Amino acid sequence: MNPHPALPQRGRELDDVAAMDYEAAAAELERTVALLGKEQEDLAESVRTFERGLALARRCARLLDDAERRLNELAPAVERTAGP
What is the extent of the structural domain holding 64? 12-82
What Å distances lie between residue 5 and 10, 47, 58, CA to CA?
12, 13, 26
Q: Is residue 5 one of the residues assigned to a domain?
A: no
pLDDT band at 50 (very low <50, low <70, confident <90, very high): very high
Measured over all CA atoms, what is the biggest interatomic distance in the chain, rounded to whole angstroms?
65
Q: Is residue 71 one of the residues assigned to a domain?
A: yes
Q: Is residue 6 one of the residues assigned to a domain?
A: no
Q: Is residue 4 one of the residues assigned to a domain?
A: no
* Predicted TM-score (pTM) of this structure: 0.77
Q: Is residue 7 one of the residues assigned to a domain?
A: no
Q: Is residue 1 one of the residues assigned to a domain?
A: no
Number of domains in the chain: 1
CATH number at residue 48: 1.10.287
CB 54 within 8 A of CB 13: no
The tens digit of pLDDT for each residue in 2-40 reads 444 444 445 667 899 999 999 999 999 999 999 999 987
